[in-house]
Structures are given as C-alpha cells and as structure tokens.
C-alpha cells in the first residue's frame, strides 16, 4: 500500500527540463505540461526525421522554448553526443529536471517461456540498462544546492536550486493476472534496482532521485512502444499529476534521506511513496 508523506515546501516551477522519450504518450504530455508552466523544454526522439505530429505542434505553439533533440538510449555514443549538445546549449546554466521516459511496453502475449534470448536482452537494454546509462551521463547537468556542490554558505539554498532526476518505472506490486507482461515488469524491477544502487552513491543534499509509477499503461498510455498513440486522452491527466509530484519533491528543501533503505523514492501520480 502506498504511504503518504507531508512535504515541507510549496511546489516550484522548473525552468529548464530535459525529457528523454517525448514523441508520444506520457513523455509528450509531460513536455506539454512543463511548456504550459513556462519552462524551456528539450525533448528527445529516437528518429530526428520523424519527431511526431504532437511535438511539431508544440514547437509551432511555443517556438524557441521547445528544442527537439534525438537520442537512442540503446547506444552509449548517442547519449554522450546528446550530453555534449545539451551542455553547449545550456551555456553554463543547469537543468532543473531530467526525465527519462525511454523504453518500450510489454511484448503482448509473450510469456517468459516463449521469449527468445535476443528479445529478452533487447527489452532489458531498452527499459533498464539504457535509461540508467542516460541518467548517469546526463544527471551531472542538473542543478544542485550550493551545499551539495561543496560551496560554503551561511544561507540555506532555495528549493528551486534542487534538481530532480526521474525515470518512468512501475509499481513492483503491479498485477499480471492475465500473464504475458512478466518481461516488461522484470525490466522495470531491474530499472528500480539500478536506480537505487545509483542513488546510494549520490549526496543526500543533491538532486531528488525518483522512479515514477504512472499506473497501468496497458492501453499504450505511456506511449513507449510503437503501439502507443501520440497523445492518448488519459495521458494528459496522468502527466499533470506526475509533473506536480516531481516539482513537489524538488520543493522539499531538506536533504532526501533514505526511505525503506534507499535514497531514491518510488512515487505514484499522487506523490505518495510506493514501497520498493
């Protein structure tokens, strides 16, 4: 069961956000939310020649506040190239939020005993190893409070100095009553484990480290796989809630202490902590 925790600050609005995997579904909808809140958004797609109608419409609406970039987290060299381009674009500024939404949804009707080894490895790379490589390489671009950066100061750092890294994951208690989703859920469990290991090596005063549980994506609402529609209706509601939850966590100026043995938090769209 999810546990609710009080927050010590008011939500802050991100100024610069990098969304990895923004072509459709929740990634697209969350990019739209931040743009509507006045943020600059760098939104990535795998294929720069086909960014999707949704992102193109947002660029037409918001102009220079939306930059469309490309990356495929399955390839380390493309992550490194994106990092260098984003750092050059920032020109000394820092990201407020890094959202890694890259990945794929389940292979329908493919239980573990019918999955080829190559397909299993591909899902794990797409949903766990690739996203975590993106986190490790891109998180250094996030804003951090002066205390976490090793800068001596007598003044408390404002909450807006605290960045957040978030990955799109899943509640480990998600049911699979119909079978066939175990490979997808296993990949998200692996992502959760990798994120917790990464968080254990980070300063408690650094950026918030979050895994997001958006709810059931069985109808393509997360938009991670080719079956996802560009902008399903339910994505807007989930996206608003998840963006608000991320910003609420950024607003908690206190260092992020370990919860249930991990500095990383798994939260749902209502900003409730979900047990690992």
pLDDT more than 90, % of the chain: 57
**pLDDT band at residue 107 using 50, 70 and 90 as cut-offs:** low
With a cut of 80, say whether residue 77 has pLDDT above it: yes
**Residue 274 located in a structural domain:** no
What pTM was estimated for this model as a whole? 0.85
DSSP-H helix ranges across 125-232: 130-138, 182-200
Average pLDDT score over residue span 68-78:
97
With a cut of 80, say whether residue 198 has pLDDT above it: yes
Q: What was the pLDDT predicted at 158? A: 43
Residue ranges with strand state E in the chain: 16-20, 40-45, 66-70, 97-100, 164-168, 208-213, 265-268
Tens-digit pLDDT profile for residues 221-262: 454 444 445 556 678 889 999 999 999 998 875 545 555 456
**Residue 6 located in a structural domain:** no
**pLDDT band at residue 114 using 50, 70 and 90 as cut-offs:** confident
Tens-digit pLDDT profile for residues 14-46: 799 999 999 999 999 999 999 999 999 999 999
**Residue 39 located in a structural domain:** yes
**Residue 191 located in a structural domain:** yes
Dihedral, CA of residue 198, residue 237, residue 36 and residue 7, to nearest 10: -50
How far lies 189's CA from each of 168, 182, 195, in Å? 12, 10, 10
Q: State which residues form the domain around 135.
A: 16-268
Average pLDDT score over residue span 38-62:
95
**pLDDT band at residue 179 using 50, 70 and 90 as cut-offs:** low
Quickly tell me which residue has 């397909």 as its tokens: 119
Average pLDDT score over residue span 189-212:
94
Kindly state the DSSP code that residue 10 receives in the 8-state scheme.
-
How far lies 191's CA from each of 26, 163, 171, in Å? 18, 20, 11
With a cut of 80, say whether residue 220 has pLDDT above it: no
> Per-residue b/e over 156-178, b at no fewer than 16 CB within 10 Å?
ebebbbbbbbbbbbbbbebeeee
**Residue 5 located in a structural domain:** no
d(CA 124, CA 6) in angstroms, rounded, equals 35
**Residue 1 located in a structural domain:** no
Domain count, the chain: 1
**Residue 11 located in a structural domain:** no
Cβ atoms of 31 and 55 within 8 Å: the answer is yes
Whichever domain contains 37, its CATH number is 3.40.50.720
Give the containing element (helix H, strand E) for 58: helix 53-62
**Residue 9 located in a structural domain:** no
């Amino acid at each position: 069961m999810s546990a609710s925790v009080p927050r010590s600050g008011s939500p802050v609005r991100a100024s610069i956000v990098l969304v990895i995997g923004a072509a459709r579904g929740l990634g697209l909808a969350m990019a739209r939310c931040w743009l509507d809140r006045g943020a600059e958004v760098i939104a990535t797609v795998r294929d720069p020649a086909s960014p999707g109608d949704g992102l193109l419409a947002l660029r037409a609406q918001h102009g220079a506040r939306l930059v469309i970039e490309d990356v495929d987290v399955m390839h380390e060299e493309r992550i490194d190239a994106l990092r260098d381009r984003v750092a050059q674009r920032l020109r000394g500024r820092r990201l407020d939020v890094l959202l890694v939404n890259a990945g794929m949804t389940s292979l329908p009707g493919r239980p573990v005993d019918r999955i080829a080894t190559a397909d299993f490895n591909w899902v794990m790379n797409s949903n766990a190893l690739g996203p975590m490589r993106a986190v490790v390489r891109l998180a250094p671009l996030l804003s951090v409070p002066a205390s976490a950066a090793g800068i001596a100061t007598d003044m408390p750092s404002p909450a807006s100095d605290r960045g957040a890294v978030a990955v799109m994951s899943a509640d480990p208690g998600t049911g699979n009553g119909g079978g066939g989703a175990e490979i997808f859920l296993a990949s998200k469990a692996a992502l959760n484990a990798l994120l917790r290991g990464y968080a254990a090596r980070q300063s408690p005063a650094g950026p918030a480290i979050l895994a997001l549980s958006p709810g059931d994506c069985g109808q393509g609402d997360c938009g991670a796989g080719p079956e996802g529609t560009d902008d399903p209706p339910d994505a807007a509601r989930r996206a608003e809630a998840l963006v608000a939850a991320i910003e609420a966590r950024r607003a908690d100026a206190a260092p992020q202490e370990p919860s249930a043995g991990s500095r990383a938090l798994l939260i749902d769209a209502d900003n409730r902590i979900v047990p690992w």
